[in-house]
Structure 1
Amino acid sequence: MTPFLTLRGKRALITSGTRGTGAATVSLFQTLGADVLTTARTRPADMPDARFVAADLSTAVGCAELAEAVKDRLGGVDIIVHMLGGSSSPAGGFSALSDDQWRKELDLNLLPAVRLDRELVPDMVSRGHGVVIHVTSIQRELPLPEATTAYAAAKAALSTYSKSLSKEVAPSGVRVVRVSPGWIETEASIELARRLAAEHGGDIDRGKKIIMDSLGGIPMGRPARPEEVANLIAFLASDRAGAITGVEYVIDGGTVPTV
C-alpha cells in the first residue's frame, strides 16, 4: 500500500538545516524518502559531507556556490525549502536601525531566496514540475516595533516576492507556497526563555510566558514545535498538495488575532 505521504525520489534543498526547525525538516524529508542537501555556515560534526554544503547565504557568492553544488551533487532539485532567517537588530525601535542593520536583515531574510530561486527554479520550469517553499513569519503582519521592524519588513518583502513568483511559474507546473510560523520552541528560543526568566525571576515557564505576552498571547498556550512546522512543510512539498500554490499557511497557535 502506498503511504499517504511520501517524498520518495524527490531531490530537495533545505537551507539552514542543521538546527531547530530546519533540522527537523531535514530529518522528516529523509524519513519520507527524499534525497536532501542542506547548508549552513559550518558543518556539524554529525552531518555527512555528502549531504551538506558550507556556505554563507547572506552573500551573493555563497548563494552561487550553493547553487553550483546543488547542480553538481543532485543534478537539480524538485523541492526547495527556504528555511534561512533570523534577526540580529538591536532593540530601540526604528531609530536604532542603521543602513547596515537594514542591509543585514535583507541579506539574510530576502535575498538568499531571490538568488537561489533565480539559479534553480528555471530548471524546474523547463522540466514542468517543482515546489518552492518560502518560510516567512507572522511578524510580516504582526511586527514587534521594539526590535524586529527590519526583520518583519524583510519577511513581508519575501512574502510579496513569493506571491509574484507563484503567479509567474504556476503555468509551467511549479508550485510556490509560503509557511508563516509564529514562535517555535527551538533550542534558541528556549535559551531566550531561560535568559528572560533569570532577568525577571522565576523558572523557564515564566520566561516562556514573557515571550508569549510580547506576542499578545498564544491562544493555544504554547509555541509550535519544530516537528509540527516540518510536518506542514512536508505536506505542502508532497504531491498530496498538488493543487496548492500562491498561498501562505500560518502555523502560530492562533497568535495573529485577525482574520
Structure 2
Amino acid sequence: MGDLTGLRALITGGTKGIGAAIARHLGDAGALVVVSARNPGGDQGAGHFIAADVSTPDGPERLAREAAEHLGGIDILVDNAASQTRVPGGALAMTDADWLADLNGSLLSAVRLDRAVLPGMIAAGGGVIVHIGSGAARLPQPAALAYGTAKAALATYSKGLANEVGRHNVRVNLVSPGIIETAGLTTRLHQLSAEGDTDLDTARRRFLENFDVPLHRVGTVDDVASLVRFLVSPAASYITGTNHVIDGGLFPTV
C-alpha cells in the first residue's frame, strides 16, 4: 500500500467517520498524525488532537500553525471537514446564511487551509494534498443543493491548484465518495425507519432502491481511507489533478 513512516499528516474532520478512518490508516502506515475538529469527541486515538473551526476566516491559519509546530512541518494535508445544510424546501427556501455556511465549511475551509500549509510544503520541496469531495457534486439533492454546489466548486479548485503547484512537487487530488456507511447515514436511516414505520433493515433496503449501485452495497469508511492512504503515498507519486470516484459504480458515466 505504501510506507508513510516519518511523514507528517494533518487531517481535518478527523475524529469521526471518514476522517477518523483516514487518520487510522495513515497512522498504521507510519505517519505522524494530527487530527482536528471543532470540538473534542469522537475518535481522537489516531493522532494528536487540535480543536479548530476551519469554517471561520482565521481558523485554518491557526490550525496550520499549531499542527506544524507540533509535527515539525506538514507533508500530507487531508481536507475532510465539511458543512452540509439540509433545507427540505429546496433552493428557493435556502437563505444566504444556508449558502454561506456550506461554502465556508465545504469549500473555503480547504482553500484557506491549503493557503496556510502550502508555503511550508513548497519550502520543504514537496507535499501531498487530498480534498474529500462528494458524489453530491454530480448528483445534487434538492435539500442539500448548497453542499453539492460547494463540492462541485471544490473539484474545479482542486484541478486548478494541482496545475499551479505541481512545479513545486506538490500533488493535489480529489476523492469523491458515493454512499458511505457513516454515523450520518445511520442517523438518516433511523429517520427513514421512523417516518415509514419500518425496521432499520427495511429502511436501508428502500434507501438503496432509490439508487442504482452496481455493487449492491454502501461503501465503508475503510474503503475511502484505503484510497486516500494510497494517494498520499510514494506509490502514487505521478498522480495529481485527478478526481478519484469511489461509489460502487453509482455514477452512470465515467
Question: Secondary structure of the equivalent of 2:77?
Answer: strand
Give 1:206 deviation, angstroms: 2.0
Question: Secondary structure of the equivalent of 1:148?
Answer: helix
Equivalent of 1:139, from 132, 136, 141? Answer: 136
Instruction: Tell me, in whole angstroms, the C-alpha distance in 2 between the residues paired with 1:46 and 1:203.
Output: 28
2:199 maps to 1:197: no
Aligned residues: 254
1:60 corresponds in structure 2 to 57
Equivalent of 2:154, from 147, 154, 158? Answer: 158
Question: Secondary structure of the equivalent of 1:175?
Answer: strand
Which has the higher mean CA deviation after the structures are superposed, 226-235 or 38-47?
38-47
Give 1:198 deviation, angstroms: 1.8
In structure 2, list runs of 5 or more residues that go unmatched. none
The one-letter amino acid paired with 2:241 is G
1:42 corresponds in structure 2 to 39
Alpha carbons 1:196, 1:210 under 8 Å: kept: no
Give 1:46 deviation, angstroms: 6.4
Give 1:86 deviation, angstroms: 3.5
2:206 maps to 1:210: yes
Instruction: Tell me, in whole angstroms, the C-alpha distance in 2 between the residues paired with 1:48 and 1:153.
Output: 33
2:241 corresponds in structure 1 to 246
Give 1:42 deviation, angstroms: 1.2
The one-letter amino acid paired with 2:138 is E
2:121 maps to 1:124: yes
2:214 maps to 1:226: no
- After superposition, give the CA deviation of every residue in 1:21-48 in whole Å (9 maximum; x if it has no partner): 1111111111111000010111128636
Instruction: Tell me, in whole angstroms, the C-alpha distance in 2 between the residues paired with 1:246 and 1:48.
Output: 31
The one-letter amino acid paired with 2:132 is V
The one-letter amino acid paired with 1:186 is T
Instruction: Tell me, in whole angstroms, the C-alpha distance in 1 between the residues paired with 2:163 and 2:7.
Output: 23
CA change 1:59–1:31 in 2 (3 A) is same
1:258 corresponds in structure 2 to 253
1:17 corresponds in structure 2 to 14
TM-score, normalised to structure 2's length?
0.95
Instruction: Tell me, in whole angstroms, the C-alpha distance in 2 between the residues paired with 1:25 and 1:242.
Output: 19
CA change 1:68–1:186 in 2 (3 A) is same
Give 1:49 deviation, angstroms: 11
Instruction: Tell me, in whole angstroms, the C-alpha distance in 2 between the residues paired with 1:161 and 1:106.
Output: 13
Instruction: Tell me, in whole angstroms, the C-alpha distance in 1 between the residues paired with 2:28 and 2:47.
Output: 17
Instruction: Tell me, in whole angstroms, the C-alpha distance in 1 between the residues paired with 2:238 and 2:141.
Output: 34
Instruction: Tell me, in whole angstroms, the C-alpha distance in 2 between the residues paired with 1:15 and 1:166.
Output: 20
1:74 corresponds in structure 2 to 71
In structure 1, list runs of 5 or more residues that go unmatched. none
Instruction: Tell me, in whole angstroms, the C-alpha distance in 2 between the residues paired with 1:171 and 1:25.
Output: 27
TM-score, normalised to structure 1's length?
0.93
Task: Show the 5 A alignment for 1:82-97.
Answer: 82-97=79-94
The one-letter amino acid paired with 1:241 is A
After superposing on structure 2, the runs of 4+ consecutive aligned residues of structure 1 that deviate more than 4 Å are none
Instruction: Tell me, in whole angstroms, the C-alpha distance in 2 between the residues paired with 1:97 and 1:38.
Output: 32
- After superposition, give the CA deviation of every residue in 1:183-206 in whole Å (9 maximum; x if it has no partner): 110122112112201211322222
